Structure 1
Amino acid sequence: MLKIRVPATSGNLGPGFDTIGMAFELYNDISFELIPSGLNIDILGEGASEIPRRENNKVFQAAKKVFDKVNFSPSGLKIILENNIPIARGLGSSASIIVGGMVAANELSGKRLSDQEILKMAVEMEGHPDNVAPALFGGVTAAVSGISSVDYLKILPPRKLHAIVAIPDFQLSTETARQVIPTMVDRSDAVFNIGRTSLMIGALLKEDLALFGKMMEDRLHQPYRMSLIPGMREVFSLAKEAGALSVAISGAGPTLIAFVVGDGRPVAEAMSKAFTQQEISCKTLDLYPDLTGTKIISS
């Protein structure tokens, strides 16, 4: 049986809306096995009671795109999803399924597609590259979709940099989170984000973590999504008071992510306290960057 391991990701990283993401050491495992006939899907862990087990399952749909692309027709397929990434929480669960399904299908069908081709297909299915690129390659990636390809740059973040994620006990779909963002933005807000995105990438390359934290401000999506995440303002404030370099919405939310160096427990406690004050329970995780991306752990 072929088993693929795909990391969780946090998209946007503040100002890098739809273009920048980071992979973390929290994983979904996806197993594929060719069988004589039919489709057999088993799901363990996160989302086990809500994810479909038929042909509308997203991992199967992702795999089918690869099979169709390379003209490969499996007689039957057994799929096992072992999910540790929370569903609809802003940690790249959808991207992990898409990337894992495509990588597994490519392996089963003879490795006919390059990583670049898989990336392009994954972006087309997901709609934006900020999660699928780091899920595939690991580290921090900046990615832009072109006409014929997706261009990306991978950066290995300093190992001492890690993140406290506060995962509140409610879901927020990407579609809902996108609906509150205006279609037109003020030029000053665009310039604000362009400048901070540029310096944020430069700060990572120079390992200037103080500057990295300072540059994670945003005006394009976070102010509009604040109404969808009760306690967000308080979480940001208390996390920074507790020593966080910066705080941002993870992807589309509702998870909030704080970057730290050293002991992250005070930040985790502060973020939990802020959510509790809003009568919202949350779980916190201390996550270090994943540097390798999707990998085959058994075949």
Structure 2
Amino acid sequence: MGSGFRLRLPATSANLGAAFDTAAVALDFHLEIEAEVAESFSIIATGRNADLCSVTDGNLILTTYCELLEREGIVAPALAVTMHNQIPLGMGCGSSAAGRLAAIALAVHFGGLGWTSAQILAEACVQEGHPDNAAACWLGGLVIAACEGRTVHAARVEPPQDWRALVVIPTTPLATSKARAVLPAEYSRADAVANIQAASLLGLAFAHGRGELLRPAMADRVHQPYRMEICPLLPSLLPLAGSHGILGVALSGAGPSVLLIVSGPDAVVDATSAVLETLGDDADAEILVTSFEHRGVTLNQ
């Protein structure tokens, strides 16, 4: 990449089981973008889903960029964009949050908006409709976030150095809107209390490196039971939590991918073998071995 405005945004895995629309962790695979003012809009894309990323009509990044500057009363300068994408689209790995944050950062830079980091994050959270993915992507690490109007309250911790992540990615994507459509409008008090307990435990498990707490801390009764049918990897992978060096298992975001948190450098091999055995011969899924990203978004101008 050359000398334009450059961004590097990590993938994210949200919810982490019980912390629905609240917690997410940044992962060490990225969307990298460089842009400069041009006579017309263009995108050259490499990496995952390059064919989709290179389409300018209806492109999430370009649409968000133009709409935001139009809202602010600024004519959007056309951009020549080069991107390398490692985040699978529609798989629950935070591709939309990364794309929206990229678009907002581009609008702030090329539109001369002068926004602060907090304003960029707030805008992304409003557009996403929930703060978890955007906050983890922007800040890195494990982030627990809440919105109060356009104010984002976020706290982050560094995940333990010896924890790693596996993301099991099926072949067919799932729209977040479809994943949300299967959720009930109301929950029992027992289910609500169980999730409050687990989500509270989750933050402390990360902060104190208490891997033995992740299995109960990632147990969910609000969204995962209702998404089992449309996320078929989940039922076979959930029982692995607490064995084979696997500390916790949850849907990655709204699915259909599944996140496994494992401990120790050697546990990755054991956990991968366990997942392959569980999937059997008929499940065509990619197992991505990764780590947690501590830096969040990086900008170079």
Q: Please, what TM-score do these two structures have when normalized by structure 1?
A: 0.93
Q: What's 1:289 paired with? A: 292
Partners of 1:146 and 1:69 in 2: how far apart? 22
Q: What's 1:18 paired with? A: 21
Aligned length: 296
Return the offset for 1:105.
Answer: 2.6
Return the offset for 1:52.
Answer: 6.4
Return the offset for 1:234.
Answer: 1.7
**Comparing 214-223 with 266-275, which one deviates more in the overlay?**
266-275
Q: What's 1:204 paired with? A: 206
Return the offset for 1:212.
Answer: 3.1
2:188 to 181, 186, 189: 186
Q: What's 1:268 paired with? A: 272
Return the offset for 1:11.
Answer: 0.5
Q: What's 2:32 paired with? A: 29
Return closer, same or farther for 1:197/1:239 CA change in 2, 3 Å cut-off: closer
Gaps of 5+ in 2: none
1:160 to 159, 162, 182: 162
Q: Deviations over 1:50-84 (max 9, x none)?
A: 34623521111232344346544344211222111
Secondary structure of 1:291 counterpart: coil
Q: What's 1:85 paired with? A: 87
Q: Does 1:106 align with 2:85?
A: no
Q: What's 1:118 paired with? A: 120
Q: Deviations over 1:253-287 (max 9, x none)?
A: 1111111111211111222232234x121111221
**Aligned AA (1:38):** S
Gaps of 5+ in 1: none
Q: Please, what TM-score do these two structures have when normalized by structure 2?
A: 0.92
Return the offset for 1:169.
Answer: 1.6
Partners of 2:224 and 2:72 in 1: how far apart? 40
Secondary structure of 1:141 counterpart: strand
CA RMSD of aligned residues (A): 1.8
Partners of 2:231 and 2:68 in 1: how far apart? 36
**Contact 1:231–1:274 (CA under 8 A) maintained in structure 2:** no
Return closer, same or farther for 1:195/1:8 CA change in 2, 3 Å cut-off: same
**Contact 1:87–1:93 (CA under 8 A) maintained in structure 2:** yes
Partners of 2:69 and 2:240 in 1: how far apart? 49
Secondary structure of 2:191 counterpart: helix
Partners of 1:75 and 1:177 in 2: how far apart? 35
Return closer, same or farther for 1:294/1:111 CA change in 2, 3 Å cut-off: farther
Q: Deviations over 1:75-114 (max 9, x none)?
A: 4211222111111111111111111121233233346111
**Aligned AA (1:45):** G
Return closer, same or farther for 1:201/1:98 CA change in 2, 3 Å cut-off: same
